[in-house]
């Protein structure tokens, strides 16, 4: 018996159900879902032509043009993609923007090829609305913010906690001048979609109280959803007070060891070193005005010497020469000032393990 079209959006996301997105590539790039794959009914130019025809001559003429554009070998190639997806993902679903004509045509052509494949009722628009509503619902639930100076391991902690929500992970950016990863940051829509799916999974595990890392509104080029940002501004705060040396070790592991390894893995030895060097230099360049040009130039030289030393003999020790003053002179004073505005909301302080243990009981 054929499976029915789906209206249970929660289970789709909680179970990482494979989704076939029938929208045009330009729509998919603007925003999609973590388990979706783009196998469009129409490519961008075809969609544009059909849309123009629809406005000028109505739906029947637009449908006729669509069948004219997508015929013969083109239709066969796209149908082959859809069949391959359906056979590889027998538990999946397809969707278009509203669950309308594109979904029904795809279903019809698949059925003619011997495959009954269900669609998501309401399509992308309904799924997206559901995820936005999920974010707003979580914003109304109890939450605690974990704060602390740069290098306190806050992101590590929220990922270790069963009720932790990793905003930076969802954005694919660490939220500082040195925050980008080797892969591109997510779009705003993709950031929100990944974030909402993570929230749904935590809810399914029984979480009713969430822990977020202390963040500003902006994480790289993305923005924390308004409802979450507002709730974070009123939430209790737990502060990690770890020694400077411990924090520097974490930063070297994160910004130096990990990034150098990832750049080389993705780009090869020579280009990887070049991109890694550029990454650290761009991070320093981004805060040059706040450092003052003289201090910026001094720390940049120290950073370049550390990279050269690391490349020649694998030593990481000289990275302390630019990271330590950067924390003492720039990041720590900035965070101390920001924290002073939240003093009345601080409910717990301790080292990493103490804060983690305290939050685990929430």
> In whole angstroms, what is the distance from residue 194 CA to residue 57 CA?
39
> Which pair of structure tokens corresponds to residue 275?
């991109």
Rg (CA), the chain: 25
Among residues 6, 53, 96, 207, the one annotated as catalytic is 96
In the residue annotation, 6 being an active-site residue is answered as no
Three-state secondary structure string covering the chain: CCCCCECCHHHHHHCCCCEEECCCHHHHHHCCCCCEEECCCCCHHHHHHHHHHHHHHCHHHHHHHHHHHCCHHHHHHHHHHHHHHHHHCCCCEEECCCCCHHHHHHHHHHHHCCCCCCEECCHHHHHHHHHHHHHHHHCCCCEEEEEECCCCCHHHHHHHCCCEECHHHHHCECCCCCCECCCCCCCHHHHHHHHHHHHHHHHHCCCCCEEEECCCCEECCEECCHHHHHHHCCCEEEEECCCHHHHHHHHHHHHHHHHHHHHHHHHCHHHHHHHHHHHHHHHHHCCHHHHCHHHHHHHHHHHHHHHHHHHHHCCCHHHHHHHHHHHHHHHHHHHHHHHHCCHHHEEEEECHHHHHHHHHCC
φ and ψ at 336, to 5 degrees?
-60, -40
**Dihedral sign (CA 171, 172, 174, 175):** negative
The catalytic residue positions are 96
């Amino acid at each position: 018996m054929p499976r029915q079209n789906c209206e249970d959006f929660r289970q789709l996301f909680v179970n990482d159900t494979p989704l076939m997105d029938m929208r045009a590539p330009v729509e998919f790039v603007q925003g999609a879902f973590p388990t979706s794959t783009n196998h469009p009914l129409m490519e961008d130019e075809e969609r544009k032509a059909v849309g123009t025809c629809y406005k000028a001559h109505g739906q029947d003429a637009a449908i006729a043009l669509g069948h004219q554009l997508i015929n013969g070998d083109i239709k066969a190639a796209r149908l082959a993609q859809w069949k391959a997806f359906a056979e590889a993902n027998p538990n999946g679903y397809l969707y278009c923007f509203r669950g309308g004509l594109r979904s029904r045509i795809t279903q019809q052509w698949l059925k003619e090829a011997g495959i009954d494949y269900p669609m998501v009722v309401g399509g992308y628009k309904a799924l997206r609305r559901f995820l936005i509503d999920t974010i707003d619902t979580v914003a109304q639930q109890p939450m605690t913010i974990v704060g602390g100076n740069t290098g306190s391991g806050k992101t590590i902690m929220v990922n270790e906690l069963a009720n932790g929500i990793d905003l930076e992970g969802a954005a694919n950016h660490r939220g500082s001048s040195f925050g980008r990863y080797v892969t591109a940051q997510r779009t705003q829509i993709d950031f929100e979609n990944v974030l909402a799916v993570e929230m749904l999974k935590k809810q399914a595990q029984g979480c009713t109280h969430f822990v977020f890392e202390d963040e500003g509104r902006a994480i790289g080029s993305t923005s924390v959803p308004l409802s979450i940002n507002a709730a974070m501004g009123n939430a209790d705060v737990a502060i990690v007070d770890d020694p400077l040396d411990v924090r520097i070790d974490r930063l070297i592991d994160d910004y130096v060891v990990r990034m150098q390894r990832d750049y080389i893995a993705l780009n090869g030895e020579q280009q990887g070193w070049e991109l890694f060097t550029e990454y650290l230099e761009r991070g320093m360049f981004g805060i040059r005005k706040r450092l003052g040009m003289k201090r910026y130039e001094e720390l940049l030289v120290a950073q370049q010497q550390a990279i050269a030393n690391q490349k020649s003999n694998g030593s990481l020790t000289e990275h302390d020469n630019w990271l330590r003053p950067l924390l003492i002179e720039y990041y720590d004073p900035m965070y101390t000032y920001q924290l002073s505005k939240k003093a009345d909301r601080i409910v717990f302080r301790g080292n990493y393990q103490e804060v983690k243990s305290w939050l685990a009981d929430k």
